């Protein structure tokens, strides 16, 4: 029977510092979460887990006596990773049985990983394997999507539906093994902007399908629509797709044609014509009729298109491009909220808040859609 995976339990406040540390650990492949430095949370921690007391050092609370009382025998697998500790406390902590203390000013995850290795080197080894697996899977997704668009640029034949099914399997496994925030970080390292965007939209759609309680067949329909929604961009000149500044009016008119190209390409095959082609054509339409290409309004926009539109906008806002940094997830979701009721379905935007929260890697209360 295999050894159960050791988790890193971050204990402490303030929340922002603990969350920053948590995101760093997750991105490096560690199994980690955050708890409060309180008896009821500490009691839930397995004996094999590693505790990390983090946050700003508080001399009135982080005393050797108080931490010894809270952690008991667990201090043998506890790391004190507090910022702004007065060096005069180091000896007292060591005398109290705390053997792993960050005594440097380096408060990066790399420094913390070094201390974790001192506690249990197998944990760092397992994390490195997990990170390598994620990177390999994300590379597989990237290479196949880039290859798809290269083939479409050379010959705009309708892509085979099997490509979407294969990508869904790999992407579902990757997201299943990684928090959304870690998966997004991997995808954002793509060098091809169109591959990055289509993969992000597909991933957000998978996550949204779970939130919506979609069954296997419906999830497959949503993924197919998301994965192929921008195939028409293969027909847009690269100098427009890769432009580092804003598009001018003429360039924007060319860019908008991608939805018509998508519809044309996907309509060439019976497996992608119909719903998949229609979503690709209509995913920039808005409830108030202000979208393109046909300016259709609420009653003419079906639910699957409304879902893909929300995922598409959120991906565009949160992805990293040469011409813009990614927007923070809470800011991106606030933009969706501002569009709810006029351009976007308010009920779907409200439900998408769970995806936005998971994607941030933090806990934050989402507001209600209008």
Amino acid 21: pLDDT: 86
Q: Please tell me whether residue 33 adopts helix, strand or coil conformation.
A: strand
Q: What percent of the chain has pLDDT over 70?
A: 96
β-strand partners of 38 = none
Distance CA 128, CA 125 (A): 5
Q: Please, are residues 280 and 232 in contact by the beta-carbon 8 Å criterion?
A: yes
Number of residues in the chain: 370
Q: Residue 275: what are its φ and ψ, rounded to 5°? A: -60, -50
pLDDT at 149 (0 to 100): 95
Q: Return all residues near 46 (Cβ < 8 A) that are at least 6 apart.
A: 7
Q: Are the C-beta atoms of 112 and 87 separated by less than 8 Å?
A: no
Question: 370 pLDDT band (50/70/90 cuts)?
Answer: very low
Q: How many CA atoms lie within 13 A of 87 on its CB side?
A: 3
Quickly state the pLDDT bin for 278 (edges 50, 70, 90). very high
Rounded CA-CA distance 205/224 in Å is 10
Please state, in angstroms and rounded to a whole number, the distance separating the CA atoms of residues 324 and 245. Answer: 9
Coil/strand/helix, residue 55: strand
Asked if residues 117 and 79 have their Cβ atoms less than 8 Å apart, the reply is no
Model pLDDT for residues 35-79, shown as the tens digit of each residue: 889 999 999 999 999 999 998 899 999 999 999 999 999 999 999
CA-only gyration radius of the chain, Å: 24
Q: Per-domain residue ranges for the chain? A: 8-119, 130-360
**Cα torsion at 120, 31, 19, 46 (round to 10°)?**
-70
Phi, psi of 282 (to 5 degrees): -105, 5
> In sequence order, what are the beta bridge partners of 83?
56
What single-letter DSSP state applies at residue 299?
G
- pLDDT tens digits, 136-176: 999 899 899 999 999 999 999 999 999 999 999 999 999 88
State the DSSP code for 102: -
Dihedral angle over CA of 158, 159, 164, 165, nearest 10: 100
Q: Which residues of 43-64 are buried (b: 16+ CB within 10 A; e: fewer)?
A: eebeeebbbbbbbeeeeeebeb
User: In the structure, what pLDDT confidence band is assigned to residue 14 with cuts at 50, 70 and 90?
Assistant: low
Confidence band of 19 (pLDDT split at 50, 70, 90):
confident
Check residue 105 and give its pLDDT.
83
Q: What's the pTM value of the predicted model, to 2 decimals? A: 0.86
In the predicted structure, residue 366 carries a pLDDT above the cut 60: no
- The closest alpha carbon to 365, from 26, 32, 15, 12, belongs to 15
Interatomic CA distance for residues 177 and 134, integer angstroms:
8
Taking only the tens place, the pLDDT of each residue in 113-122 is: 999 999 999 9
Q: What average pLDDT score do residues 281-308 get?
A: 98
**Which of 21, 127, 9, 3 is CA-nearest to residue 77?**
9
Q: What is the pLDDT of residue 368?
A: 44
Between CA 344 and CA 250, with CA 325 as vertex, the angle to 5 degrees is 65
pLDDT of residue 1: 42
pLDDT digits (tens, 9 = 90+) for 100-112: 999 988 888 999 9
Q: What is the pLDDT of residue 365?
A: 47
Which pLDDT score is estimated for 339? 98
Max CA separation in the chain (angstroms): 75
pLDDT at 364 over 50: no
- Judged by average pLDDT, the poorest of 184-188, 205-209, 229-233 is 184-188
Q: Distance (Å, rounded) from C-alpha 265 to C-alpha 270? A: 11
345 pLDDT above the threshold of 80? yes
Return contacts of 114-119, CB within 8 angstroms, 24+ apart.
115/79, 115/81, 116/8, 116/30, 116/50, 116/79, 119/50, 119/77, 119/79
Level-2 CATH architecture, domain 130-360: Orthogonal Bundle (1.10)
Question: What pLDDT, on the 0 to 100 scale, is given for residue 13?
Answer: 73
Q: Does domain 8-119 have CATH number 3.40.50.2300?
A: yes
Peptide bond into 14 cis (omega under 30): yes
Of 2-6, 8-12, 132-136, 268-272, the least confident:
2-6
Given this model, what pLDDT does residue 189 score? 78
pLDDT of the residue at 362: 60
Mutual angle of helices 121-154 and 180-187, in 10-degree steps: 50
CB 289 within 8 A of CB 297: yes
């Amino acid at each position: 029977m295999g050894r159960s995976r050791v988790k890193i339990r971050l204990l402490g406040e303030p929340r922002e510092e603990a969350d920053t540390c948590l995101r760093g650990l997750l991105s490096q492949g560690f199994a980690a979460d955050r708890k409060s430095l309180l008896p009821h949370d500490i009691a839930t921690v397995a004996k094999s887990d590693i505790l990390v007391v983090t946050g700003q050092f508080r001399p009135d609370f982080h005393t050797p006596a108080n931490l010894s009382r809270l952690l008991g025998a667990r201090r043998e697998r506890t790391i004190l990773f507090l910022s702004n500790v007065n060096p005069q406390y180091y000896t007292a902590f060591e005398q109290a049985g705390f053997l792993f203390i960050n005594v440097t000013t380096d408060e990066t995850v790399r420094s913390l990983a070094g201390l974790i290795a001192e506690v249990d080197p197998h944990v760092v080894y397992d994390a490195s394997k997990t990170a390598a697996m994620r990177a390999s899977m994300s590379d597989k997704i990237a290479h196949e999507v880039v290859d798809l668009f290269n083939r479409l640029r050379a010959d705009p034949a309708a892509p085979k539906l099997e490509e979407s099914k294969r990508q869904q399997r790999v992407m579902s496994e990757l997201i299943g093994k990684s928090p959304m925030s870690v998966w997004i970080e991997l995808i954002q390292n793509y060098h091809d902007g169109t591959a990055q965007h289509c993969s992000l939209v597909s991933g957000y759609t998978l996550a949204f399908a779970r939130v919506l309680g979609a069954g296997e067949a419906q999830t497959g329909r949503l993924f197919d629509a998301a994965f192929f929604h921008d195939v028409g961009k293969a027909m847009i000149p690269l100098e427009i797709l890769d432009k580092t500044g804003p598009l001018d009016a003429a360039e924007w008119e060319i860019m908008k044609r991608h939805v018509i190209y998508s519809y044309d390409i996907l309509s060439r095959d019976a497996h992608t014509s119909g719903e998949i082609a229609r979503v690709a054509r209509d995913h920039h339409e808005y409830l108030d009729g202000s979208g393109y290409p046909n300016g259709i309004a609420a009653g003419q926009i079906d639910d699957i298109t409304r879902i893909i539109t929300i995922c598409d906008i959120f991906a565009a806002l949160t992805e990293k491009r040469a011409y813009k940094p990614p927007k923070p997830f809470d800011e991106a979701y606030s933009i969706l909220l501002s569009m709810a009721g006029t351009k976007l379905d308010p009920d779907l935007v409200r439900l998408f808040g769970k995806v936005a929260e998971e994607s941030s890697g933090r806990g934050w209360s989402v507001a209600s859609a209008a």
